[in-house]
Structure 1
Amino acid sequence: MSGKNHFTLAGCGAIFLFSSVVALIRSVTEQLGPVGGAAMIYTVSTVILIFTVGLPKLSSFSSRYLLIGGTLFVSYEMCLALALGMANDRLQAVEMGLINYLWPCLTVLFAVLLSRRRVSWLLYPSLMLSFFGVAWTVSGDSGLSVSQLTANVQSNPVSYSLALCGAFIWAIYCNITRGMSNGKNAITWFFAATAVALWVKYLFTQEPAMQWTLPVIWDLLLAGLAMGGGYALWNIGIIGGNMVLLATLSYFVPVFSTFLSAYLLGLKLTATFWQGVVMVTLASLLCWWLTREKPAGELLQEEQA
């Protein structure tokens, strides 16, 4: 196997690990509590990242990147973990994961708005398709129903709000931190900050004491590996892997994640749920395709048209 294939395989491994995060976070938080379980996961992930990615000196990063990027990263990770942990049941947790995957379309939208570049009008129906897909899924088996959608959201407004806010926060993070990072990655520090923030929150909660068993420890290690190991492998993949393949596969994470979540959590998802997943995935692919960087020949033809 060539060196490039090794890098690409690492990137594919990262996509697989990322796809398992929703199920593993939910599994751990069911056993250790929404806040305490999340705090333990990010603590373990931080340790894994220290040994794989390393712990660069803080002085090597700009203070602006650490402050703004770190705040956004910690906010997003807390929104995601708590939305999954505080979901009423496992099916609702998978819904939270799908809402989270609105971020690719939102990232494209913010990138277009910030750059003020001219794009195809088809981008906006594609964006609407992603939100329609989420609404279709959350409405339940009866298809799109405003009353049912409202009732489901009102059953747990905190989790739904956290999941939606997280998608917007991550889209903003992806757009504004690229320029501030100067090509450097403070992911280990950001994970450590997330763990600290969750432990602080845990001190002010009334969660019962954590009960440790071998299955709990095993699930915790898997969750920490999925998050910390996923970021480590992704960093390897983007160094020398086939980025076209990896980027394309990454847009199918909602499908992979839903499949793995259903399998690991023992859920049987309805056709309506899968239809919503397909809509969100298709919308992400369309947004990427409509705003991709085009070869010079294509751009010239468009200008002459």
Structure 2
Amino acid sequence: MENKRSATLIGLIAVLLWSSIVGLIRSVSESLGATGGAAMMYSVAALFLLLSVGWRRLAEFPKQYLIWGSLLFVSYELCLSLSIGYANTNRQAIEVGMVNYLWPALTMVAAIIFNQQKANFLIIPGFVIAIGGICWVLGGDQGFDLQGMWHNIQDNPLSYGLAFSGALIWAAYCTVTARIAKGKNGVTLFFMLTAVVLWCKYFFVGGSPMHFDLHAIIYLLLAAAAMGFGYAAWNVGILHGNVTILAGASYFIPVFSAALAALVLRTPLTMSFWQGAAMVCLGSILCWFATRNTKSKSVKQATVAE
């Protein structure tokens, strides 16, 4: 019983670590650039994962999981890190991070469509509320304002587009790997591949010069630790702790993330933003309640968040 409580606590630490990701990624990108900063973060995070989770031989993984898991995971991490790095302002980076947190609701819908996950009527209002929350966030100070939302998206369609694509990709990752992973976890390999792709982009496509100083190094280590150790801690929690508590806590990450990002980036957020963030959480929780009485591996995997 004591071991289960300890494992649950470790899993909750992962929720806190992941909640800090948006603010930390943005802080690193300000000094090292969007691409260079992300490449450094995933390189250091991969090293942390090697030390904490360890390495498994490729032969241990199902072939389909290696192919599809690698493709979807790397694509998602690219969308996440670059969408935040390419944001024009700190406020926009926080908004972009919030768009990414559509993935829980999208994952539940994907599980219903593709994995025959059983669900009740709550899935519909849950999904609508989550989408409405994002619209509320993007509407600016006026809350739900379609014209204001469209103006925000037009200001930086690349960042918002990457964030939304990332949410779709992560939903696909959770849905697909639930069927083909066979209990294996290739996160260390996936982080290495992400770092390699980002370095290729940096050297062959181009990226901003990296300016290393104490500020950049501190935030780089913090961001890499939050990413790498977050996955390691979640692994312990999900395998040995209370999955129900961890799943419930993970759906509050949008609010935790916005609060920590606002603190790290020293960016005040309006009441309408918090209302939208709360709607995203509420919608995701309703989607979770819609499926919680049924058994599905995809639901458990869907609780893995950033």
TM-score interval for Structure 1 and Structure 2 normalised by the shorter chain? over 0.9
**Which residue of 2 is the match for residue 224 of structure 1?**
224
Q: For residues 112-143 of structure 1, what are the alpha-carbon distances to aligned partners after superposition, in whole Å with 9 as ceiling and x for unaligned?
A: 11244553333112211111110111110112
Q: Which residue of 2 aligns with 1:178?
A: 178
Cα 1:111–1:218 shift into 2, 3 Å: same
| Cross-structure match for 2:136 | 136
- Match of 2:112? 112
Bigger radius of gyration: 1
Q: How does 1:1-305 map to 2 (within 5 A)?
A: 2-116=2-116, 119-294=119-294
TM-score of the two chains, using structure 2 as the length reference: 0.93
**What is the distance in 2 between the residues matched to 1:212 and 1:120?**
52
Tell me the TM-score normalized by structure 1. Answer: 0.94
Contact 2:115/2:175 (<8 A) preserved: no
Which amino acid is 1:24 matched to?
Answer: L
* 3-state SS, counterpart of residue 77 of structure 2: helix
Does structure 1 retain, via aligned residues, the 8 Å contact 2:20–2:257?
yes
> Which range is displaced more, 137-146 or 162-171?
137-146
Pair 1:190–1:294, CA change in 2 (3 A): closer
Asked whether the 8 Å contact 2:35–2:208 carries over to 1, the reply is no
What is the rounded CA distance, in whole Å, between the counterparts of 1:98 and 1:105 in structure 2?
Answer: 13
Unpaired segments of 5 or more residues in structure 2? 296-306
Please name the residue that 2:298 is paired with.
none
Amino acid in structure 1 at the alignment position of 2:29: T
CA distance in structure 1 between the aligned counterparts of 2:255 and 2:172, rounded to whole angstroms: 23
Match of 2:303 in 1: none
Local SS of the residue matching 2:268:
coil
Supply the distance in 1 between the matched residues of 2:13 and 2:38 (Cα, whole angstroms): 23
Shift in alpha-carbon separation, 1:117–1:260, aligned structure 2, 3 A: closer
2:164 counterpart letter in structure 1: L
Q: Which residue identity is paired with 1:189?
A: L
CA RMSD, Structure 1 to Structure 2 (Å): 1.4
Would you say how many aligned residue pairs link Structure 1 and Structure 2?
295
Matched position secondary structure for 1:141: helix
How far apart in 1 are the matches of 2:186 and 2:119? 32
Match of residue 302 from structure 1: none
Q: Which amino acid aligns with 1:19?
A: S
CA contact (8 A) 2:103 2:167 kept: yes
C-alpha contact (below 8 Å) 2:121/2:290 kept by paired residues: no
- After the TM superposition, list the runs of 4 or more consecutive aligned residues in structure 1 that deviate by more than 6 angstroms: none
Distance 1:207 1:122 in 2: 45
Return 8-17 or 119-128, whichever deviates more.
Answer: 119-128
Kindly state the Cα deviation for residue 144 of structure 1 after the two structures are TM-superposed: 1.6
Does structure 1 conserve the Cα–Cα contact (< 8 Å) formed by 2:122 and 2:289?
Answer: no
- How far apart are 1:151 and its partner, in Å? 1.0
Aligned-pair CA distance for 1:261:
0.7
Distance 1:167 1:235 in 2: 21
Shift of residue 294 of structure 1? 5.0
Out of 137-146 and 188-197, give the one that drifted further. 137-146
Alpha-carbon displacement from aligned partner over 1:210-254 (angstroms, at most 9, x marks no partner): 111111111100000000010011111112111111111111111
The verdict on how the C-alpha distance between 1:111 and 1:275 changes in structure 2, with shifts beyond 3 A counting, is same
Partner AA of 1:162 in structure 2: L
Question: Residues of 2 paired with 1:242 and 1:175: CA distance?
Answer: 22
Structure 1 counterpart of 2:152, which letter?
N
